[in-house]
Structure 1
């Protein structure tokens, strides 16, 4: 049993830690991060750079596995790394209080502090994930993550709502300082819940670089992991093209105030909690793969919905957010479940580090590309780009990129997973959840705008490859016949001699 025997006793500590951690992140990311950066004078491209930093930092999780094995303790690695990652925000807090000046001169120092913070957070998160995997039984993964996310979402929503109200009421740079200070305190309180959680200390040993590299490459030898990774790489990139800029669009282009945006996010959070309670139970019964296929199809069409939003119909945004939140709750549970099932007990840290770092690296290019495209469109003199908001061109690109990822789900391996039709039948039979099946059918039809030409492209590529292979085979056969004829002629000449 090992650490798993402690699970019934300590699971609430993980729930409370998740609640305070999400409250911490709710006050330093998204709305508040964008608002503070905009107050400093950051443009769309600089916003893209700032939003990509948490994702780029995940690349260092590859080396987190090395740190874990060297230190030998998930607990100490987690607590120390997360403490540093949250405590360095004191520099941003002091900057918000005006101790280091004001304006665009603070953008680069702000980016530097963000980078340091998220590097340590990435290391700590991997240690925490590996620690959780060692304690939570595999049969209870979906239920555990579902309940932990419910605690986190509820607490995070309250913090987010209060914070946005404060920002609207006191429009001053110092207000961000108080918000970030509260966030840092909440994050440090969250760490205290992990202090009494047991850990099984591993044997500390120095790892040679060659052995470390071999273990780092080990996950690629697992076919099930490779298919999940391929989807994660492209999906992470496609998702982050638009997701970080929805709030930018609402604040800067539509002119919606902070508190109204927070109400939209609150509606999203309530829907997420509801979705987690439903999908958490279904994940263990039907498997993660059909849930992922269903929810990813719906999520793919969210950027397309934002293309039709303007100042006269912005009240449709909460509906889009609610649908997106329900589908995202299923995606989070599904990917966590698939990753935990794929990673073996031994050297699991390398599987988790490999996945989070590589997907984070690809995902980081999404906001960069979006910020660059939005800036180019805004500065362009072409009439084509002046019919609507620049970010809507980003949303169109995001829709296409998300839909192109959907065929990759069929390649993911999950033994004993049910079919998507069985999940749909269950969804249809649920009284307050049946509407989601209708949204899925609509999203599936919309996605065919991209997938049908893609299928034709794949068919053409397949036919081209087939013709090339046939031609190669004929050439090889011809060469083989010529060689055989030469050998026969040589044999005849030798016989005559």
Structure 2
């Protein structure tokens, strides 16, 4: 009976984790996703938008250097997570109030965003340690695929509703449209904290000798599989952030998109992301995270290059749909690979060190992109240069490092060409066949109904 009770508690915790993630996604969709448009509405410069997109994440990553030490002192993970979650929810109130200021209000927004991201960053290694202990090894791809599908759908619906709400405000009063958005984000984070408190926490028992310094990690970075993996992800983040913060500026200012057009284009990525999560989750379980990482890592460089081809809304919707599909596989396989290559007692520290380097890369990439913006324009939009440099940099990073990362699980072997064929040819045909059968059964059932 004790075993059955423990199993029921674990299953409930997995369900609560999905609900917690869904509530957090509402916060992201109504709040964090619209921080850069909020800054634009506050008349932020392109440089300030770049700082807002990068500096808070950098300091949020640096805050993780102390999370392992605090975890060791506290001896439990949930108190750390629930406390920082509550404080992060409260940060939406001062973020909302900066619109009432006249001077330097964008810099105040950046200041409060730094605190917001620092609280979220501080808890991330601790949360990763906890979730890694309660999700069974054999079904991580399936579970996180399902969880990401739910959170992706919730995020998409939140982004759409927030965009529709903003679109009702005139340009003169646009800034006031963010009041209901950020209040929803505030309450959603409180709800996620309620579910977080219900999740079961296995006893945290750090092993002696599991501690190692950040400098020791850097010294062995190029010699270990996890170190090479972290190096690859960090350099990829640098390449991505050369252009990523400036897509908002490009759409809202250079292309003159309305908030509704901005929402439609960007949310198309969320649609394909959550729709493909189950597929990617099954594929990571079957063929390994490295296989998916290799395929998606070689396709990601195409995304900013495709933005150079056309500025029409239907075309950019298609580009973003492709982007969401590819990034879903990349992010899921990268997240699962962390669990494959780290032991439970070292996981929080390993995740913290990865996030520190990743945060430095994000900040450096955004600042480098900001420096490129100051050059004399080569194309009709200065941001086109950023798209080109980012795409080439992504390709060089993947080409130089992906082959050095090893798969650590016993999985079915599949070549890159076979994987491409299965994903882009077999799966669409299988989905079409399923729809045809469902449609045929629906018609048959209608015919068999008595009038």
**Length-normalised TM-score, structure 1:** 0.79
Question: Partner of 1:346: helix, strand, or coil?
Answer: helix
What is the CA–CA distance in structure 2 between the aligned matches of 1:283 and 1:433, rounded to whole Å? 20
SS in 2 for 1:42: coil
Matched, 1:389 2:381: yes
Query: Hey, what does 1:490 align to over in structure 2?
Result: none
Q: Is 1:125 the counterpart of 2:121 in the alignment?
A: no
RMSD: 2.5
- Go from structure 1 to structure 2 and tell me whether the alpha carbon gap of 1:223 and 1:386 turns closer, same or farther (over 3 Å shift): closer
Q: Structure 1 residues 149, 139: CA separation in 2 closer, same or farther (over 3 Å shift)?
A: same
1:326: how far off? Answer: 0.6
Is the alpha carbon distance of 1:70 and 1:4 closer, same or farther for their aligned partners in structure 2, counting shifts above 3 Å?
farther
- 2-structure distance, mates of 1:40, 1:330: 35
After superposition, the Cα gap between the structure-2 partners of 1:402 and 1:203, relative to the gap in structure 1 and judged at 3 Å, is closer
Residue pair 1:71, 1:204 contacting (<8 A) in 2 also: no
Q: Which residue of 1 aligns with 2:230?
A: 229
Contact 2:57 2:118 in 1 (8 A): no
Counterpart of 2:420 in structure 1 is 424
Structure 1: 5+ residue stretches without partners: 436-497
Structure 1 pair 220/282, CA: closer, same or farther in 2 (3 Å)? farther
CA separation in 2, counterparts of 1:65 and 1:426? 41
**Shift in CA distance, 428/189, structure 1 to aligned 2, threshold 3 Å:** closer
Question: Of the candidates 378, 391, 406, which is equivalent to residue 413 of structure 1?
Answer: 406
Contact 2:92–2:185 at 8 Å: present in 1 too? no
How far did residue 424 of structure 1 move?
2.5
Q: What is the CA–CA distance in structure 2 between the aligned matches of 1:336 and 1:196, rounded to whole Å?
A: 24
Cα distance in 1 for residues equivalent to 2:281 and 2:205: 35
Counterpart CA distance in 2 for 1:158 and 1:122 is 25
Is residue 77–residue 130 contact of structure 2 (8 Å, CA) maintained in 1?
A: yes
Do the aligned partners of 2:243 and 2:369 also contact (CA within 8 Å) in 1? Answer: yes
What residue is the counterpart of 2:299 in the other structure? Answer: 298
Matched, 1:366 2:392: no
Aligned-pair CA distance for 1:183: 0.8
Supply the distance in 2 between the matched residues of 1:220 and 1:142 (Cα, whole angstroms).
31
* Matched-pair contact (CA < 8 Å) for 2:134–2:202: no
- Separation in 1 of the partners of 2:347 and 2:129? 7
| Offset of residue 347 of structure 1 | 2.1
Shift of the 19–216 alpha-carbon distance from structure 1 to 2, 3 Å rule, reads: farther
Q: Report if the CA contact (8 A) 1:167-1:175 is conserved.
A: yes
Query: Where does residue 491 of structure 1 map in the other structure?
Result: none
Where 2:229 maps in the other structure, the secondary structure is helix
**Kindly tell me: are residues 294 and 127 of structure 1, through their superposed partners in 2, closer, same or farther at Cα, counting changes over 3 Å?**
same
**Matched residue, 1:186:** 188
What CA deviation, in whole Å up to 9, does each residue of 1:262-320 have, x standing for no partner? 1223322221112112111111000011111111222111111112223xx34200110
Equivalent runs, 1:231-250 vs 2, <5 Å? 231-250=232-251
The answer for the alignment partner of 1:90 in structure 2 is 93
Q: Give 3-state SS (helix, strand or coil) of 1:41's partner.
A: coil
Aligned residues: 418
Structure whose alpha-carbon radius of gyration is higher: 1
* Distance (Å, rounded) in 2 between the aligned partners of 1:217 and 1:198: 33
Q: Deviations over 1:124-173 (max 9, x none)?
A: 22211111001111111111111111111111111111111111112322
Deviation readout 1:453-486 (Å, 9 max, x if unpaired)? xxxxxxxxxxxxxxxxxxxxxxxxxxxxxxxxxx
Task: Name the SS of the counterpart of 2:32 in structure 1.
Answer: coil
Q: Residues 19-42 of structure 1: CA distance to partner in whole angstroms, max 9, x if unpaired?
A: 111110122234x21221112221
C-alpha separation between the residues in 1 aligned to 2:10 and 2:395?
39
1:13 to 1, 12, 16: 16
Q: C-alpha distance in 2, partners of 1:296/1:3?
A: 39
State the match for 2:79 in structure 1.
76
* Deviation, structure 1 residue 212: 5.6
Unaligned runs of 5+ in 2: 432-451
What residue in structure 2 maps to residue 28 of structure 1? 31
The residue number in structure 1 matching 2:441 is: none
- 62 and 184 in structure 1: CA distance in 2 versus 1, 3 angstrom threshold: same
2:268 is aligned to 267
Q: Distance in 1 between matches of 2:25 and 2:363?
A: 21
Aligned partner of 1:37 in structure 2 is 39
Q: Do the aligned partners of residues 122 and 234 (structure 1) sit closer, same or farther apart at CA in structure 2, a change above 3 Å counting?
A: same
What is the CA–CA distance in structure 1 between the aligned matches of 2:359 and 2:134, rounded to whole Å? 25
Q: Rate the CA distance shift 1:259–1:3 in 2: closer, same or farther, 3 A.
A: farther
Cα 1:433–1:106 shift into 2, 3 Å:
farther
User: For the structure 1 residues 203 and 301, does the alpha-carbon distance in structure 2 shift closer, same or farther, using more than 3 Å as the test?
Assistant: closer
Which residue of 32, 46, 49 corresponds with 2:48?
46
Matches within 5 A, 1:140-179: 140-171=139-170, 172=173, 173-179=175-181
Query: What does the per-residue CA deviation read over 1:313-372, in whole Å, with 9 as the maximum and x for residues that have no partner?
Result: 342001100111110110011101111111112222111111122112112212222123
Kept in 2, the 8 Å contact 1:288–1:334? The answer is yes
Moved more, 16-25 or 194-203: 194-203
- Matches of 2:347 and 2:136 in 1, distance apart? 15
Q: Distance in 2 between matches of 1:287 and 1:406?
A: 18
